[in-house]
Copies of this chain bind each other. A is one copy, B any other.
């Protein structure tokens, strides 16, 4: 399906999506996560997270349910960035070719991936404009105007915007697409050490987000040949998907003065001297949604992490002719009480069987379900069912808030633990290159540090070196390629 022109990419929208099925037809489909590459697009369609029938390949439609999940993740990101003194900005999408060309490595890295606007109305533009693949070249000419003296530093900004990359590989919802919902923080500092401190702050923010998304990850310093175009070094944040492939969730870059010298971002230091600022960036994208889908889900559907779930609790009334009003009244009371305590709750009043509703909400990954019928009225209780384990519990009305709070926390913990186990299962230490080649997960090995050895290893294994763990210590082994003794450990994996 790789392609270099868009002849097969535009046209009338098709309709073979499982999205269009009614609930009864969906219920006949068996999801099978052991076949992850089929399971992943299927669960997205069945849970209605994204619609890929838009008539341009790799540009998908965010449905209300999927977009709510993305917005909740955005809110979590904003919370972290705002509380660490970053200001949210929004820069233009279109970048003049002249600005884009200023940093040589950067343009080399992106040149074959950018979309070009060459015409407005019937007029050819003298200077073509490109759709940002990332915003360094949009922001930095302006940063040069905003920064005058050391008192303007650090400058800490971020934005959440759409970016564009003309991917020629097979596209995949949330993972490899052409219009990307993108987060990017850009900071300027008076010296290298202050920029390094920013990177430590970014890693702390990542830890907080990893907890909220119930996603453990590996943080590694990428080998030089795989760093961001224009960066001094790059830290990659990767999680592992159930097929053993690794998905990059975020990247943090130390730019030093590489961009500031190209864009003239200077400041006057306390001693009156002019200096270029040191810069960092931190990028994340809708891949966070892809990871949440891929890592947590199962054969019943999605499992949403409680802190970012579009709906945290669904209430399903069990109605009988005689107790209809009483049950609905109590359901509404429970709904209101939970909403007042800040939970995102939905009362499902559809005229279909409770069992079908259970199926639907399990597919959508709602962390908790409350069942409430005539028997519960009598016992002054509700039944609480958790999505992750299917475990049921009867709660007295008086214990509702405590029980819901405790169970949501427990769901989050169990999702995190499950994801950690998945990752641990896929990481294996190897000292022999041939043995390593047969492993489907993440290869943990030694490396002498020589670039040739690294590249040969990558080629032989048909995998990428993720890099050296940033918290590496006390490793001792030998280079997987040349056998030399080394203290340098690396992870190697197939990547998305």
Interface residues of A (CB under 8 A from B): 4-7, 10-13, 15, 17, 19-20, 51, 53-56, 59-64, 67-68, 70-71, 87-96, 98-99, 111-129, 131, 138, 141-142, 144-145, 148, 157, 161-162, 164, 166, 179, 181
B-chain residues with CB within 8 Å of residue A68 when the two chains form the complex: 88
With contact pairs A6-B125, A142-B51 given, residues A87 and B115 touching in the complex (Cβ less than 8 Å): no
Residues of B with C-beta under 8 A to A20? 145, 148
CA distance A142 to B61 in the complex (A): 9
Q: List chain B residues, Cβ under 8 A from A95.
A: 56
Bound-state CA distance A138–B121 (Å) is 18
Whether the Cβ atoms of A90 and B67 lie closer than 8 Å is: yes
With A and B bound together, what is the CA distance between A12 and B112 in angstroms? 24
The answer to whether B142 and A54 have CB atoms under 8 Å apart is yes
Q: A13-B144, A61-B142 are in contact. Are A114 and B118 (CB under 8 A)?
A: no
Copies of this chain per assembly: 2
Taking a contact as CB atoms under 8 Å apart, the answer to whether A121 and B117 are in contact is: no
How far, in angstroms, from A60 to B53 measured CA to CA in the complex?
A: 33
Inter-subunit contact A10/B88 (CB<8 Å): no
Please tell me if the beta carbons of A123 and B4 are within 8 angstroms of each other in the complex: yes
- If A13-B145, A61-B142 touch, whether A56 touches B118 (CB-CB below 8 Å) is no
Residue of B nearest to A71 (CB): B88
A89:B64 contact, CB within 8 angstroms = yes
- Whether B142 pairs with A53 at a CB distance below 8 angstroms is yes
The contact of A166 among B60, B99, B120, by CB within 8 Å, is B120
Indicate which residue in B59, B71, B88, B116 contacts A119 across the interface (CB closer than 8 Å): B116
- Report the minimal beta-carbon distance from A405 to chain B, rounded to whole angstroms: 21
- Across the interface, which residues of B come within 8 angstroms of A61, CB to CB? 89-92, 142
Are B55 and A141 within 8 A (Cβ)? yes
| Shortest Cβ distance from residue A107 to the other chain B in the assembled complex, whole angstroms | 12
